Amino acid sequence: MASGMSAATTMMFALVPSGGHIVTTTDCYRRTRQFIQTILPKMGITATVIDPADITSLEKALHDNEVSLFFSESPTNPYLRCIDIEKVAKLCHKKGALVCIDGTFATPINQTSLTFGADIALNSVTKYFSGHNDVLAGSLSGSKEIIDAVKKVHNILGGVLDPNSAYLIIRGMKTLHLRVKQQNETALKLARALELHPKVHRLHYPGLESHPDHHIAKKQMHGFGGVVSFEVAGDLEATSRFIDSLKIPYIAPSLGGCESLVEQPTIISYWDQSAAERAMLGIKDNLVRFSCGIEAYEDIFSDIQQALKAV
């Protein structure tokens, strides 16, 4: 489809009936949350939002509502929380609910959601699949029955991928496994190093034992992805100085390309929300999301070290 959001919204329109109910998670891509919480209610579709690891709340939501769909990312954006896909799928299927996992941060190289019981795997092809920061696209994978149902709505809504983007995606996928392997290695080394850095307050990466969902990531992921989120030991201005002092990464809200990208979510992705609204979503002023490219780890870490001196 023409974008990851096109894939997500078309899928929900196709699979969730009027009066249906969606269970989703607190930590997720902002625009997906907005669609679920502000657009779908106009069509009589309600939602329950739970913590990614809160199985008890999921069971309650399934008991109290006619749930049509469980939708979450794994790992999530930006705190890289992980869903126990197998456990969630078993619970949802008992109640007749479908499970869709957005695996954009993982890619199918690191995580094959369908083999753990998910009904639909969604990817923002804009990111790792194309891998060169020059395409907008999205994809859905699942059974023929499910995909045929989505296709019918897709044909009505549009969101068609253009031929040149399709060509660029084919090009990018030829090196997907090579790029992801290096980005996995770089991100894990970077996370381990930054976790010990005195100017980093907290590190979020599922490959670290300190991450709350590390045990889940170990069970269902082959690698832990190329994105590292961390909280700088400073305020909004100090974090901005750090971002501006970096020399290698581009400042941009995307991820998964050959070039490293960095963003301060408060300023870029959540710039139009108040401090109180950001606090409700857990978005901190000192949060940084770093997407590792394919540059040498030594160069990336050296750049981050020098930039942290500005904090």
The predicted-structure confidence for 195-248, as pLDDT tens digits, reads as follows 999 999 999 999 999 999 999 999 999 999 999 999 999 999 999 999 999 999
- For residue 274, the model assigns a pLDDT of 81
For residue 265, cis peptide bond before it (omega within 30 degrees of 0)? no
pLDDT grade, residue 3 (50/70/90)? very high
Q: How far is CA 62 from CA 71, 109, 192, 305, in A?
A: 13, 31, 38, 47
Residue 271 has pLDDT above 80, yes or no: no
Which region among 187-191, 272-276, 304-308 has the lowest average model confidence (pLDDT)? 272-276
Query: pLDDT category, 9, cuts 50, 70, 90?
Result: very high
* pLDDT at res. 123: 98
Q: What is the pLDDT of residue 23?
A: 98
pLDDT of residue 264: 96
> Token pair of 289, please?
């999301």
Report whether pLDDT(270) > 80: no
Q: Is the link from the previous residue into 78 a cis peptide, with omega within 30 of 0?
A: yes
Confidence band of 280 (pLDDT split at 50, 70, 90):
confident
pLDDT at 234: 95
- Which of 27-31, 33-37, 184-188 has maximum average pLDDT? 184-188
pLDDT, position 178:
98
When pLDDT is cut at 50, 70 and 90, the band that residue 273 belongs to is confident
Residue 238: partners with Cβ closer than 8 Å, 6 or more residues away: 232, 286, 310, 311
Which position has the higher pLDDT, 279 or 291?
Answer: 291
The chain-wide mean pLDDT, for the chain, equals 96
* Confidence class for position 56, pLDDT limits 50, 70, 90: very high
Percent of the chain scoring above 70 in pLDDT: 100
**Whether residue 12 has pLDDT greater than 80:** yes
